[in-house]
Amino acid sequence: MRLLTFCLVFLFAAFTHAAPSIIPQPPVLAASSYILLDANSGEVLVEHNADEVLPPASLTKMMTTFIVTEELAYGNIKEDDRTRISVKAWKAEGSRMFIREGTYVKVGDLLKGVIIQSGNDASIALAEYISGTEEAFVDVMNQYAAQLGMVNTRFKNATGLPAKGHASTARDLSKLAKHIISDHKEYYPLYKEKKFTYNNIEQSNRNLLLFWDPRVDGLKTGHTDEAGFCLVSSAEEDGMRLISVVMGAKSERARARESQKLLTYGFRYFESHKLYDSQETLQNHRVWMGQQDELALGVKDGAYITIPRGQKGNLDVQYSIDDVIKAPVIKGMEYGHMTVSLGDKVLMDKPLIALEAIDEAGFFSRILDYIKLFFYSLFS
């Protein structure tokens, strides 16, 4: 099958080119495991022991709150729903929201108690409200982990309290963070709230970066003696969103300081670009024997890339399209590829799909196109 190839180079202005990029080695952190990625493109910018299986401590609660927001989005529960607090939730060890056994607390308040105050009691209460028992909720957590591609994660509870076999990785947790940010955007602002008061007790968010860096707007802290000090953070600057995961730091301030090193490095030396929207027409191509002569081609999902800062002018985009496209055309069918390169490195390779369906033309129109196509093939 022959392909037609088109080439497009992004230039800021005629007769100019981008300066060569100089990027230093990424910072080496005082932590057991860490990762930094662009939330839009998914490009990993820095990683160290990112697949090492470690206890996640209260980073576990990210899955608890993600499931709660899923249930809210589906309409299965409501923020104003009131859940009765069990003895098990009331007696939860560690960080607490200070809810009382036998009282009724709104789901919305419990969600804030988990996200802002890291309440183990609130986590158990939500787990019991959604699934009946914490044990049943844990099964749901592990099913979601599998769906999200968290291949090295196994949950044993909804809180992150120490339990044999309860483990995750920096890479898996970065995947979860990405879904928390993108899947239910209406709830993500909760993760940047600095304080929450319940039962006349005000508690501050343990994520120090919310107080240090205005770019940071989430996500979750964690700490146990076994896990050390952990932090999943996210920040946005000039349309670029970064996610960092730091596990096994030595102190509360250390996990914030080491996370900020990653974020600063990412924003300083890289930039994120949205090349195309989902279903945006990138090329129009001739269609033979169809009820219309042109077919709109594009990519299924929006195309984002992460590149060294200042290198946009050196991007090279090429389209390879099937030479002959005949009706009927099914929407979503592949008819070529789009590749984006920077120098010798291919940054992206996406299929070009039909953005519309085209039915066959009538008999006489098809005969006429057969004749035209014969001569086109003969001379091309």
pLDDT tens for 170-184 read 999 999 999 999 999
Q: Which residues contact 339 (CB under 8 A, 6 or more apart)?
A: 317, 318, 320, 346, 348, 349, 350
pLDDT at position 290: 83
Whether residue 56 sits in one domain with residue 158: yes
Domain boundary among 213, 240, 272: 272
The verdict on whether omega for the bond into residue 328 sits within 30 degrees of 0, i.e. cis, is yes
Pick from 221, 243, 272: which residue ends a domain? Answer: 272
Same structural domain, 166 and 241: yes
Q: What is the pLDDT of residue 229?
A: 97
* Active-site residue, selected from the candidate residues 33, 41, 58, 272: 58
Q: Residue ranges of the chain with pLDDT lower than 70?
A: 1-21, 369-370, 373, 375-376, 378-380
**Of 33, 41, 61, 95, catalytic:** 61
CATH code at position 158: 3.40.710.10
Amino acid 15: pLDDT: 35
Q: Which two tokens stand for residue 139?
A: 């099964």
61 is catalytic: yes
The predicted pLDDT at position 380 comes to 64
pLDDT of residue 318: 92
Do 229 and 366 share a domain, yes or no? no
The CATH number of the domain holding residue 294 is 2.60.410.10
Shared domain for 98 and 245, answered yes or no, is yes
Q: Is residue 189 part of a domain?
A: yes
Same domain? 229 vs 294: no
**Do residue 266 and residue 286 come from a single domain?**
no
Count up the domains in the chain and report the number. 2
pLDDT on residue 323: 85
Do residues 368 and 241 both lie within one domain? Answer: no
What pLDDT score was predicted for residue 9? 44
Q: What is the pLDDT of residues 101-139, one digit of tens each?
A: 999 999 999 999 999 999 999 999 999 999 999 999 999
CA of residue 118 relative to chain centroid, distance: 22
User: pTM for the whole thing?
Assistant: 0.86
245 pairs with which residues across the strands? 35, 232
Distance CA 376, CA 118 (A): 68
The position carrying tokens 């982990």 is 145
pLDDT value for 20: 52
The residue among 250, 272, 294 that closes a domain is 272
Residues 85 and 223 in one domain: yes
What's the one-letter identity of residue 251?
Answer: S
- Note if 372 is an active site residue: no
Which of 33, 86, 95, 118 is flagged as catalytic? Answer: 118
